[in-house]
A and B are shown apart, each in its own frame.
Chain A
């Protein structure tokens, strides 16, 4: 027994020593944390290495985080709340900036020089909290309706048209499903709901920051979604566990006539070798009814600096490097992500890089609607997600679900001391 005990002690000592003796004091190490899915990972890695070449003595380490946004958010919250000094630069989802800024976890960036005018205003507004700039928009995402050009002559102009077309195509057996969207209990569901809200003239918070998600327009929107799953039956129940990739698979395999998804899917589905629907689809704004307007949920990523970073100036240099036009264009070309710099949309290079026609994108940028910019957004969204999911899975009526959601959100805002705050943009 004492022999194995000694062995244990030695094992422990060796492990502890080997982990701490790996440090080299000559190189300044920055940590960058962001999404790393396939080609995006390689691209980021390449850009980080390029940064290291331009700044001798600096090495940037890419810290891999889970790909699901909710999980990455949890991880960030865990790290930053624990006062970890790394990662130095974080890729934030556009909806996290106000939260991290309010908690004091990221640095205000006004002191650093940045050409703010070149950035898309809606995205920039989401990077501000209480007037100060806390992050820099990196790339933009917009919710789109994908439709099959071989099954329809033109995209539906209203939501009712979409419903009719989807039902027809499903009932006649042309496709297995009419429409697919992300219905799992996560942030994606809120964005889908946002687009339905806009279609009926509703919203989550109004311009003064009051909760309006229990108003008739919102109830109509959610009823439409519930009916799509139930009575009208053109959206399959499985969407309730689907995120972006599952919906993409369904549309890509030809199982769905319509899909609501982000621009990234477009590039992947054009791959003729893997995608049965290559060259047979196009995008359009998510249609609306008469009382609303076509809405594209504004998503995307921003870059921020850890408030406890050991090298803030250097971290800022990395941020500025990554949002430079050169890097942004490269990203658009390689991973089909929409840049956040307006000037790039006038360039030929971008027009060639994106699988979606430029005029459509600029049209969509006008239709972009951000989610509420508030430090308690993730809790607000979670309240909404839980209620939406309950209504969609038949556990509650839309009206009851939204009324409870609204009540909880109001309580949340009051309790957080944010009730009378004016919400941007």
Chain B
């Protein structure tokens, strides 16, 4: 395959992919006065004012805390639930297995808006609006399918001989699961945890509907609602977007291969 046309196209695509991120960072350190006057491609003066304002005036640590708490709580619930379910789907034979798999897949395809009305009314009745548990319920429901899907594919790739060996030695299925399979499942579980975290960090509609005030806003909602002023404070908004991107970027940097492998495996199997 000739390198040149592909090389040019590749460079172009790469630029299109990375430029907005570069621009986001560059603009976030451009002083406010220059932002509205066609700043140069490479900022000449750097200023951390926007970041200072973000944390001093707007207390941006609060949405970060909220997002972290919700993501942590969701992940803690999703991992065991999804792992057990995936194991059963991968290893055990039972009636309705295909139906369950189809159901799980179907749920991930639901439009989120379709379940907002009753969830809202129920959470209101239970006084769970504007609380962490109130958001965790829909988050678990919508991130579990991906985790189950991923882990099912993962378990299927694991050789069943190890558990069978353990069971032949007299261990029950559950014991085998606990002692033998779970330690081996660690990489798959880690990937599922990462994807769940990314989902929670990213999610917008439920957070917008069920969280009521700045005390409980998650990062996506807080960043979007900066737009309240007459003139959008782009400097601060962009600083906030950079801050919102950092955890995600770190996770992606650290676990690139795993994420790609996980998504591809889930996609081609299933």
Contacts and interface: CB of A to CB of B under 8 A. Distances in A.
Nearest to B197: A8
A25 interface: no
B69 A68 contact: no
Nearest to A86: B213
B37 interface: no
A64 B225 CA distance: 12
A244 B130 CA distance: 32
Tell which of B186, B190, B228 has the most Cβ of chain A within 10 Å. Answer: B228
Contacts of B260: none
Given A9-B72, A245-B231, A246-B231, 19 more contacts: A1-B186, A1-B189, A8-B72, A11-B72, A12-B72, A15-B68, A64-B214, A66-B225, A67-B230, A68-B228, A68-B230, A75-B212, A79-B212, A83-B124, A83-B127, A84-B130, A84-B212, A243-B230, A246-B230
Interface residues of B, number: 23
B229 A78 contact: no
B105 to A, nearest CB: 27
Interface in B198-236: 212-214, 225, 228-231
Contacts of A78: 212
Nearest to B129: A82
B231 A66 contact: no
Given A12-B69, A68-B229, A246-B231, A82 B212 contact: yes
B73 interface: yes
A12 B73 contact: yes
Interface string A336-356: 000000000000000000000
What 6 pairs between A and B have smallest CB-CB spacing?
A: A66-B228, A245-B230, A82-B129, A12-B72, A1-B186, A8-B72
A246 B231 CA distance: 8
A20 to B, nearest CB: 11
Nearest to B132: A16
B119 to A, nearest CB: 12
Interface residues of A, number: 25
A225 to B, nearest CB: 22
A63 B59 CA distance: 14
Nearest to B73: A12
A71 interface: yes
Contacts of A66: 225, 228-229
B65 interface: yes
A1 B190 contact: yes
A120 B170 CA distance: 88
Contacts of B21: none
11 contacts: A8-B75, A12-B72, A15-B65, A15-B68, A16-B69, A79-B212, A81-B124, A82-B212, A83-B124, A83-B127, A243-B230
Contacts of B69: 12, 15-16
Nearest to B216: A19
Interface string A23-67: 000000000000000000000000000000000000000011011
